[in-house]
């Protein structure tokens, strides 16, 4: 078989080589009606909004599925109605009523009414995949969801929560992808053995968003097309194509050449280089992801309050801000990213080796100690860890870096067998509780605890802070609620075993003929349907 | 990664040849075929077992790839049970083998597709790249090696040596990026990363998955040109690395042959130098060289992670690596079977070529 095959390829090669000689093969420029993006999306594992929880999948969901409410991407503290025309809370704070816009249709042509919305939310609770907790934290369960979430008429949907939560909290959670609305009739027709169409929807589409999913080929392409049944302003472009390109340098070349319109995963170096290119523009938005170094409280040295504090003085925040995360992040020493309710700009810590040394002496460790840190071998995490290793050394702390790939460091972190860990946390939904829930809540510090938030992973027992965090989600006065998060963060800054480093800024570089590109504050509000090309 | 170890290269088939004793030669073909089948089956079983157990002992929790970092405890536990990870290792392996025998390679958790569907997509991408790569590598590497051997110590030999050394020592991702910067970004002679321009993305229906063939069969010559201009650069790069190795090996085999007495005899007979080199010496050097080329080809067919990353090429190397990093074992095992089959197949092929090239090894 091989000789024959080779001969054929040989002929083809010869023919093509001749063609190649006759002219310039590469014709750069993307089609006028198509937006082409280079984007690393190997994290996508599903296209079902009830399961999708990965950053890249979130972006696709945001563009292709509608939900009751969306964040106002120009001011993320505000909400805008998506399929909901109006929304309100009952006096006792437990019943939420939504009026659905009339005459809505899915991409398939099926009607979208309150019944479909109720089905979609019920489906997410019944499937109980990773993001389902965003809904079930309001007291919905497999047994009660059909009574608690229902359509009382084709245009009215009611939700009944178990407690009187802060309304902002409930509304914010309903902007998440898990609350996206799926085409009930279509999904039901694909149902196998009562799986709620899960097997089918993993790689298919049943939405009503401005763009519809044509195809997802893992690690290769995600193709979106204009949804002509969309209720709002139709996208100006007929197609949006995401190409899986992981390497920053490759993305940059493609953009410079005009083979893509937008590059999404650029390194600080490539961003700097592109900022000098007159054909290319940059746009950036602070995201809800914060980076931190954490200290496992199971390690007796790290458990000392003075050591925790000393560590916070051993990071050269300004050097990191000016170099390693230039363009891709800003120093942030709080667990809430800017943009969320109650976010703080307090930055009490800076590199101060003398102070750290004094604190270490107070802790009975005047000569420092040895400790390990688990690190993923990706930038800028690697650079930051190495910088920290240098500054910690100045105070006598000998930090040994344990590099790991993929899910390796995370597996270890989750088992809390690390000493120190450098990682990131992205808000699961646009509400301060998403971060408070993990940084300042640890209801059970036992090894077999049911909930394993970041505070648990670092064995930080905090009954008092847990109580305060729980109280904050029930505070119905937005002003008071804001103050509660500010207080939580003040305590957290002082005593926590988390050295908060920075908040991520997402940058996209795009060709000069692209208009209307604006990255949203969350990963699911990077809207491509507003983009047009000249 | 792409180029196999030279010492290992010529061992396997030689021993296979050597083990054919006089008795076996007389034995019916059926028996040797049965032996062969047993060996193949054991190879696969060993390959799967080793991969499976390595996959299960690496310190990565496979559940993480499916449910992510945020999932509540009960979701994690349920997924673990769905995957059968709560069962003992040997039982997991037994279940897996049972499914494989029924032709079910499972579903990849990363892509949500059956593993074979994924591989049917990723492998042709690599096959296309590797085939063109080995054509370039062997097509240029063998003549260069011969030339270097004939002009031993002369300028040509030095030049070929430098080409070989550079090919062997320069990191492929760097060379790949440089080639892209110059040939794609600056000069615009070739198309950039990816297999095909977005414009042609939905114009051809995949039949073989080899885009050159698919476009040619559909008569879409514009698209064919586009595919070729995407393919030529990464293929040349892989070809160059194969060339570096093949030319060095060719040179050393040829030096060995040129020092033999039959060459002196041929010269004494008054044969032309080119006839001596190409018809006599190279013919003999081809015997071990076939193995070198076959194994280089097999190495390329495994997929080259770095090349595939730089060129955004959705091939087998990236697929397997990505799966392994997420402990997506169905995908890793499926990939291993394919890579194993490639090695077995190419070893067989080189055995067959041996028999054509070397009359002594034919079964009479």
Interface test with A, best of B135, B178, B194, B308 (most A CBs within 10 A): B194
Distance from CA of B226 to the nearest CA of A (A): 7
Q: Pairing between strand A104-105 and A95-100? A: unpaired
Q: Is the peptide bond before A380 cis (omega within 30 degrees of 0)?
A: yes
Q: Is B4 left (phi over 0), alpha (psi -120 to 50) or beta?
A: beta
Predicted complex ipTM = 0.81
The shortest CB-CB distance from A9 to any of B131, B192, B232 is to B131
Report pLDDT for A28: 52
Angle formed by the axes of helices B329-357 and B115-150, to 10°?
Answer: 40
Closest Cα partner for B228 from A11, A285, A134?
A: A11
Alpha carbon dihedral A297, A301, A303, A304, in 10-degree steps, equals: -170
Structure tokens belonging to residue A184: 């009930």
**Chain A, nearest residue to B181 by Cα:** A253
A262 touches chain B (CB under 8 A): no
- A405 pLDDT higher than 80: no
Residues of chain B neighbouring A8 (CB-CB closer than 8 A): 213
**Per-residue model confidence as pLDDT tens digits over B249-268:** 999 999 999 998 999 999 89
For residue A85, the SS3 value is strand
Structure tokens belonging to residue B308: 């595939």
**Per-residue model confidence as pLDDT tens digits over A351-366:** 999 999 999 999 999 9
B46 touches chain A (CB under 8 A): no
Report pLDDT for A3: 37
Size of chain A in residues: 534
Q: Pairing between strand A262-263 and A34-39? A: parallel
Q: How many CA atoms lie within 13 A of A295 on its CB side?
A: 23
Structure tokens belonging to residue B163: 């080409």
C-beta atoms of B112 and A412 within 8 A: no
C-beta atoms of A414 and B68 within 8 A: no
A305 touches chain B (CB under 8 A): no
- B87 pLDDT higher than 80: yes
Q: Which of A181-185, A333-337, B22-26, B285-289 has the lowest mean pLDDT?
A: B22-26
Average pLDDT, stretch B124-132? 93
The shortest CB-CB distance from B309 to any of A24, A46, A247 is to A247
- Mean confidence (pLDDT) of chain B: 84
165-184 of A, contacting B, C-beta below 8 A = none
72-131 of B, contacting A, C-beta below 8 A = 72-75, 78, 108-113, 118, 121, 131
224-253 of A, contacting B, C-beta below 8 A = 241, 243-247, 249-250, 253
**How does residue A15 score in pLDDT terms, banded at 50, 70 and 90?**
very low
A398 touches chain B (CB under 8 A): no
Distance from CA of A276 to the nearest CA of B (A): 16
Q: Which of A20-29, A244-253, B31-40 has the lowest mean pLDDT?
A: A20-29
- Cα separation of A125 and A137, whole Å? 10
B135 touches chain A (CB under 8 A): yes
Distance from CA of B265 to the nearest CA of A (A): 33
Q: Pairing between strand A420-426 and A370-376? A: parallel
C-beta atoms of B184 and A257 within 8 A: yes
Contacts with A320 (C-beta within 8 Å, 6 or more apart), sequence order: A331, A384, A387, A501, A502
A38 touches chain B (CB under 8 A): yes
Residues of chain B neighbouring A53 (CB-CB closer than 8 A): 68, 70-71
Residues of chain A neighbouring B184 (CB-CB closer than 8 A): 26, 253, 257
Residues of chain B neighbouring A203 (CB-CB closer than 8 A): 112-113
Structure tokens belonging to residue A36: 């082409």
Buried b (16+ CB within 10 A) or exposed e, A49-67: bbbbbbbbbbbbbbbbbbb
Most confident of A278-282, A451-455, B55-59, B188-192: A278-282
For residue A129, the SS3 value is coil
C-beta atoms of B327 and A129 within 8 A: no
- B22 pLDDT higher than 50: no
Residues of chain A neighbouring B324 (CB-CB closer than 8 A): 406
Contacts with B34 (C-beta within 8 Å, 6 or more apart), sequence order: none
Residues of chain A neighbouring B345 (CB-CB closer than 8 A): none
| Residues A87/A68, Cβ–Cβ less than 8 Å | yes
Report pLDDT for A160: 96
- B209 pLDDT higher than 50: yes
C-beta atoms of A407 and B327 within 8 A: yes
Written in H, E and C, the secondary structure of A460-477 is: CCCHHHHHHHHHHHHCCC
**Per-residue model confidence as pLDDT tens digits over B303-336:** 788 888 889 899 998 898 888 888 888 898 899 8
Neighbouring C-beta atoms of residue A249, cutoff 10 Å: 20
Contacts with B245 (C-beta within 8 Å, 6 or more apart), sequence order: B3, B6, B137, B141, B164, B167, B168, B292, B296
Residue ranges of alpha helices (H) inside A324-477 are 353-362, 381-394, 408-414, 432-439, 454-457, 463-474
A138: DSSP letter = T
| Residues A99/A153, Cβ–Cβ less than 8 Å | no
C-beta atoms of B61 and A414 within 8 A: yes
């Amino acid at each position: 078989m091989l000789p024959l095959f080779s001969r054929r390829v040989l002929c083809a090669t010869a023919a093509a080589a001749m063609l190649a000689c006759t002219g310039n093969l590469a014709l750069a420029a993307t089609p006028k009606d198509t937006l082409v993006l280079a984007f690393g999306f190997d994290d996508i594992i599903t296209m079902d909004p009830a399961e999708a929880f990965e950053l890249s999948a979130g972006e696709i969901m945001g563009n292709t599925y509608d939900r009751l409410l969306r964040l106002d991407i120009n001011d993320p503290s505000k909400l805008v109605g998506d399929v909901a025309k109006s929304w309100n809370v009952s006096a006792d704070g437990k019943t939420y009523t939504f009026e659905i816009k009339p005459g809505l249709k899915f991409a398939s042509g099926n009607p979208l009414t309150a019944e479909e919305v109720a089905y979609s939310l019920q489906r997410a609770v019944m499937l109980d995949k990773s993001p389902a907790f965003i809904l079930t934290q309001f007291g919905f369960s497999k047994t009660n969801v059909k009574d608690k979430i229902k359509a009382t008429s084709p245009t009215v949907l009611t939700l009944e929560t178990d407690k009187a939560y802060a309304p902002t909290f409930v509304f914010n959670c309903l902007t998440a992808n898990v609350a996206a609305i799926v085409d009930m009739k279509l999904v039901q027709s694909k149902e196998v053995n009562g799986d709620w169409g899960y097997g089918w929807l993993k790689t298919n589409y049943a939405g009503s968003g401005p763009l519809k999913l044509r195809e997802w080929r893992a690690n290769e392409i995600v193709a979106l097309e204009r949804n002509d049944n969309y209720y709002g302003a139709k996208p100006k472009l007929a197609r949006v194509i995401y190409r899986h390109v992981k390497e920053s340098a490759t993305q940059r070349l493609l953009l410079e050449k005009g083979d893509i319109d937008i590059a999404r995963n650029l390194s600080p170096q490539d961003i700097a280089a592109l900022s000098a290119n007159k054909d290319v523009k940059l746009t950036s938005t602070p995201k809800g992801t914060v980076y931190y170094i954490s200290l496992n409280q199971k390690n007796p040295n790290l458990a000392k309050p003075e050591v925790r504090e000393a560590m916070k003085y051993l990071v050269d925040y300004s050097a990191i801000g000016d170099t390693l995360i230039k363009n891709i992040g800003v120093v942030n020493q709080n667990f809430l990213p800017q943009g969320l309710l109650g976010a703080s700009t307090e930055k009490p810590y800076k590199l101060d080796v003398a102070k750290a040394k004094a604190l270490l002496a107070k802790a009975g460790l005047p000569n420092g100690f040895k400790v390990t840190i688990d690190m993923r071998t990706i930038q800028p995490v690697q650079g930051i860890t190495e910088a920290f290793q240098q500054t910690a050394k100045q105070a006598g702390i000998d930090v040994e870096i344990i590099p790991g790939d993929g899910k390796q460091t995370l597996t270890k972190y989750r088992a809390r067998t690390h000493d120190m860990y450098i990682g990131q946390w992205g808000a699961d939904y646009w509400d301060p509780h998403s971060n408070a829930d993990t940084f300042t809540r640890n209801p059970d510090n036992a090894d077999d605890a049911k909930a394993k938030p970041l505070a648990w992973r670092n064995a930080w027992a905090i009954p008092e802070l847990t109580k305060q965090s729980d109280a904050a989600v029930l505070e119905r006065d937005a002003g008071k609620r804001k103050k509660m998060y500010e207080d939580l963060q003040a305590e957290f800054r002082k005593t926590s075993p988390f050295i908060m480093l920075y908040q991520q800024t997402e940058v996209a570089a795009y060709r000069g003929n692209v208009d209307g590109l604006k990255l949203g504050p969350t990963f699911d509000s990077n809207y491509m349907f507003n983009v047009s090309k000249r | 990664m792409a180029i196999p170890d030279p010492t290992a290269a010529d061992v396997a088939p030689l021993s296979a040849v050597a083990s054919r004793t006089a008795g076996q030669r007389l034995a019916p073909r059926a028996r040797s075929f049965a032996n062969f089948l047993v060996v193949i089956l054991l190879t696969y079983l060993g390959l799967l077992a080793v991969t499976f157990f390595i996959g299960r002992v690496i310190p990565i929790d496979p559940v993480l790839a499916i449910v992510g970092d945020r999932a509540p405890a009960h979701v994690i536990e349920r997924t673990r049970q769905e995957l059968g990870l709560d069962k003992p290792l040997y039982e997991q392996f037994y279940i897996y083998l049972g499914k494989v025998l029924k032709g079910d390679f499972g579903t990849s958790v990363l892509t949500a597709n059956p593993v074979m569907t994924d591989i049917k997509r990723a492998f042709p991408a690599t096959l296309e790249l590797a085939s063109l790569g080995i054509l370039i590598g062997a097509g240029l590497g063998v003549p260069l090696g011969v030339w270097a051997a004939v002009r031993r110590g002369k300028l040509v030999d030095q030049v070929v040596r430098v080409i070989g050394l550079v090919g062997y020592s320069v990191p492929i991702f760097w060379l790949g990026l440089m080639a892209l910067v110059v040939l794609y970004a600056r000069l615009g002679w070739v198309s950039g990363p990816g297999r095909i321009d977005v414009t042609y993305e939905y114009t051809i229906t995949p039949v073989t998955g080899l885009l050159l063939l698919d476009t040619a069969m559909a008569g879409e010559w514009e698209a064919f040109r586009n595919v070729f201009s995407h393919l030529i650069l990464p293929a040349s790069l892989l070809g160059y690395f194969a060339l570096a190795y093949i030319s060095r090996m060719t040179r050393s085999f040829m030096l060995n042959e040129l020092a033999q007495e039959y060459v002196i005899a041929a010269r004494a007979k008054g044969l032309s130098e080119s006839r001596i080199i190409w018809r006599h010496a190279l013919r003999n050097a081809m015997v071990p060289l076939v193995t070198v080329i076959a194994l280089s080809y097999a190495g390329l067919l495994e997929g080259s992670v770095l090349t595939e990353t730089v060129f955004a090429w959705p091939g087998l190397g990236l697929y397997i690596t990505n799966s392994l990093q997420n402990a997506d074992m169905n995908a890793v095992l499926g990939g291993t079977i394919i890579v194993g089959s490639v090695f077995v197949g190419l070893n067989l092929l080189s055995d067959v070529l041996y028999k054509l090239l070397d009359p002594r090894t034919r079964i009479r």
